[in-house]
Amino acid sequence: MPNDPLPTYSPRWPRYVEFAPGVLVAGGLIWDTLSPQEYWGDPMLTAASVTAGALLSLRHTLVIGVVIIVGVAALTVKDGTAGDIVGYLELINTVFAALMGVGVNWVVARHGRSLDVMRTVAEAAQRAVLPAPPERIGSLTIAARYQAAQSEARIGGDAYAVQRTPFGVRLLIADVRGKGLDAVSAVSVLLGAFREAAEEEPGLPALADRMERALLRESDQTSEEVRLEGFITALICEILPQGGGLRLLNCGHPAPYLCHGTEVRALETGEPGLPLGMGGLGVPRPQPTDRPFPVGGTLLLVTDGVTEARGPGGAFYDPAAQLAGRGPFQEPREAIDLLAREVERWTGGPRDDDMAMLAITRQPMPTPNLLV
């Protein structure tokens, strides 16, 4: 599938954290056994129960609770308080702590199920608005992936499209400011305008202008805040026919990358133009930039969820540096899979932003069999 499913609810923590409840139980019982003061380890046992409820399954939470109750009951027998009010109160407190763990587990599980439903709805809406591109057009093989930020269940505003036109294969990748229904609405308008205008406009600046006008018409029906602050960064690319290379128009978006052999380089286009939706500032749109696209090369278009992914030290991820020497890529899917793994490794945890990736590989044309 070109789009990966949104991840189900699964809090991410180091594996060793799951052993914390067991360590707390052992520490609390040992402390209670060895301490001259009765049951000083009780706070550790309560913490073990609550921690188990937050981190483990219901079955494991119940096991932790039973171990705590049995351990404390054995201590009351050892200390000779099993038949008096002190022993009874101690057992009641222990049972209450175990029930607290079960309650925490129920709340966490319910939240997880709700979040799974939200993610499922978000995935369905995202894919309805953002259908998968064709896997092949002529000598071009295509792959795409939209990957939601793992800390978010809301629908994002990253978008991509591939369109065969009389002027060549045209590509779009864009990032709408914000999330939620306003972003989905903007993506829908943007993709509809792109698909219509890409068939009709011979030049990329005119294509961008058509998209801008469609967005401005839509913004008349939105709130004033959205009109003033909403904009869309976009990169429009045209793959010229007969191996003529690439034509790029950058509207405030991260540059694309060309992977050829083991080399990966950013295809800078000079000073990028303003994002779509900001045409009212009166700044002229830049002219497109032509770049070669050799056979065997892979063009990689990304959103800022990739280029602004931060490592533990705060450094931004640089695809040109991190993917260099990892090629060549025989299929665009290989480049996207590697890039997704690299960003995951770089961040070391949940990302703050969605990311979209679109990869196109120019394959050699098959040689026809000639009859002698």
Report, as an integer, the average pLDDT of 180-208.
89
pTM over 0.75: no
Q: What is the pLDDT of residue 26?
A: 83
What are the pLDDT digits (tens) for 183-192? Answer: 778 888 899 9
Q: What is the pLDDT of residue 10?
A: 44
What are the pLDDT digits (tens) for 301-359? Answer: 999 989 988 888 889 999 999 999 887 899 999 999 999 999 988 988 667 778 899 99
Helix H, strand E, coil C: the string for the chain is CCCCCCCCCCCCCCHHHHHHHHHHHHHHHHHHHHCCCCCCCHHHHHHHHHHHHHHCCHHHHHHHHHHHHHHHHHHHHHHCCCCCHHHHHHHHHHHHHHHHHHHHHHHHHHHHHHHHHHHHHHHHHHHHHCCCCCCEECCEEEEEEEECCCCCCCCCCEEEEEEEECCEEEEEEEEECCCHHHHHHHHHHHHHHHHHHHCCCCCHHHHHHHHHHHHHHHHCCCCHHHHHHCCEEEEEEEECCCCCCEEEEEECCCCCEEEECCEEEECCCCCCCCCECCHHHCCCCCCCEEECCCCCCEEEEECHHHHCCECCCCCECCHHHHHCCCCCCCCHHHHHHHHHHHHHHHHCCCCCCCEEEEEEEECCCCCCCCCC
Please say if the pLDDT value at position 370 is more than 70: no
Report, as an integer, the average pLDDT of 217-241.
75
Report, as an integer, the average pLDDT of 55-82.
84
Please say if the pLDDT value at position 256 is more than 90: yes
Q: What is the pLDDT of residue 76?
A: 80
What are the pLDDT digits (tens) for 134-170? Answer: 999 989 999 999 887 655 545 667 899 999 999 999 9
Report, as an integer, the average pLDDT of 60-89.
82
Of residues 232 and 16, more confidence is placed in 232
Q: What is the pLDDT of residue 36?
A: 59
Confidence band for 9, pLDDT divided at 50, 70 and 90: very low
Please say if the pLDDT value at position 129 is more than 60: yes
What are the pLDDT digits (tens) for 10-34? Answer: 445 556 667 788 888 888 888 777 7
